[in-house]
C-alpha cells in the first residue's frame, strides 16, 4: 500500500464527488483501487480516469470521502483487477447509476483509438447523472426513473428498445440486480460472447484471500474480475 495526496475534489452534489489524486496511476479502464482512510474501512472504487475516482455516498466511508479536502492523504492498494478489453467496430456502453465511473474511463480510452461508442445511461433522477459531460451528447441516451431528465423509465426500457445485436461489443456496469437482468436477456439473444460486465460485489480484502467476492463458478471478482466476459459469468 502507498499513500496519495488528494489534489482536487469536484463536488457534483450532496451525494457525489470526483476525487483527483496528485498523480496518474498506471492503469487500464475497468481496474479499481482499494482505498483506505485512517480509522475507516478499506473500500473498492473503480478508477473514473487514471487520476480519479467518482464516489457515491452510501455509508460511513463514502460519506467521508465525498467531503474529503485537497491536501488530505488516502491509502491506495492497486490498481487491481482485470480491465476491459479494447474493441473495434460498433460499441455500446450500458451504465446504471455509479456504474458509469469505469465506463467513463473506458470511453476516453476508446475515443483516443477513434472507436465510435453509443452510451445508454440510466439513473433514478437527474442528480445521479454525475459524469454525463464526459460523453458525446449526440451519441448518448439518458433515462431517469422519475423523468427529471432524458426519457422516463428504467435501464431495461433503454436496453430493450436498442438493436443490441447490431453492436460488435457491449460493455455493462451497474447494480448487480440490473446486470443479472441484462445478462439473462443477452443470454436469450445468444450474444453473451461479445459482452463484458464489470461486477460489483462486497469486498473485504481485494486481493483474493477472504472469499467475500466469489461468484457462482468460484471466480473471485477482485482477482479474476471485476470485468468478465458475459459467457464466463455464473451468478
Ligand X SMILES: Cc1cc2nc3c(=O)[nH]c(=O)nc-3n(C[C@H](O)[C@H](O)[C@H](O)COP(=O)(O)OP(=O)(O)OC[C@H]3O[C@@H](n4cnc5c(N)ncnc54)[C@H](O)[C@@H]3O)c2cc1C
Residue 202 interface partner, choices ligand FES, ligand X, none, CB cut-off 5-8 Å depending on type: ligand X
By CB under 6 A, tell whether 101 contacts ligand X. yes
Residue placing its CB nearer to ligand X in the complex, 102 or 150? 102
Least spacing, CB of residue 177 vs ligand FES, in Å: 20
Least spacing, CB of residue 206 vs ligand FES, in Å: 5
Alpha-carbon distances of 159 from 41, 102, 118, rounded to whole Å: 35, 19, 12
By CB under 6 A, tell whether 25 contacts ligand FES. no
By CB under 6 A, tell whether 220 contacts ligand FES. yes
Q: Are 71 and 6 in contact (CB under 8 A)?
A: yes
Residue placing its CB nearer to ligand X in the complex, 164 or 226? 226
By CB under 6 A, tell whether 217 contacts ligand FES. no
Tell me the three-class secondary structure of 54-80, residue by residue: EEECCCHHHHHHCCCCCCCEEEEEEEE
Query: Which residues ranging from 179 to 218 are in contact with ligand X (CB under 6 A)?
Result: 200-203
By CB under 6 A, tell whether 56 contacts ligand X. yes
Q: Are 71 and 24 in contact (CB under 8 A)?
A: no
Count CB-CB contacts under 10 A for residue 154: 17
CA dist 1 and 167 (Å) reads 40
| In the complex, residue closest to ligand X by CB | 59
Residues shown for the chain: 235
Q: Using CB under 6 A as the criterion, which residues of the chain lie in contact with ligand X when the complex forms? A: 32, 41, 43-46, 53-56, 58-62, 98, 101, 200-203, 226
Amino acid at each position: 500500500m502507498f499513500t496519495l495526496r488528494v489534489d482536487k475534489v469536484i463536488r457534483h452534489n450532496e451525494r457525489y464527488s470526483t476525487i483527483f489524486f496528485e498523480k496518474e496511476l498506471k492503469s487500464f479502464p475497468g481496474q479499481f483501487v482499494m482505498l483506505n482512510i485512517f480509522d475507516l474501512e478499506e473500500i473498492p472504487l473503480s478508477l473514473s480516469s487514471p487520476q480519479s475516482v467518482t464516489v457515491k455516498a452510501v455509508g460511513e466511508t463514502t460519506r467521508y470521502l465525498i467531503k474529503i479536502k485537497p491536501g488530505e492523504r488516502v491509502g491506495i492498494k492497486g490498481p487491481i483487477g482485470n480491465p476491459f478489453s479494447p474493441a473495434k467496430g460498433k460499441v455500446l456502453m450500458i451504465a446504471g447509476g455509479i456504474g458509469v465511473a469505469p465506463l467513463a474511463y473506458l470511453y476516453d480510452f476508446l475515443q483516443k483509438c477513434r472507436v465510435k461508442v453509443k452510451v445508454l445511461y440510466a439513473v433514478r433522477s437527474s442528480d445521479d447523472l454525475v459524469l454525463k459531460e464526459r460523453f458525446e451528447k449526440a451519441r448518448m441516451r439518458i433515462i431517469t426513473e422519475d423523468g427529471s431528465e432524458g426519457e422516463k423509465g428504467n435501464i431495461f426500457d433503454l436496453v430493450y428498445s436498442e438493436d443490441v445485436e447490431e453492436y460488435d461489443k457491449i460493455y455493462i456496469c451497474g447494480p448487480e440486480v440490473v446486470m443479472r437482468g441484462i445478462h439473462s436477456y443477452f443470454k436469450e439473444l445468444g450474444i453473451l460472447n461479445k459482452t463484458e460486465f464489470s461486477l460489483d460485489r462486497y469486498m473485504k480484502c481485494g486481493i483474493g484471500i477472504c472469499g467475500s467476492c466469489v461468484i457462482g463458478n468460484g471466480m473471485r471478482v477482485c482477482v479474476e474480475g471485476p470485468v468478465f466476459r458475459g459467457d464466463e459469468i455464473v451468478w
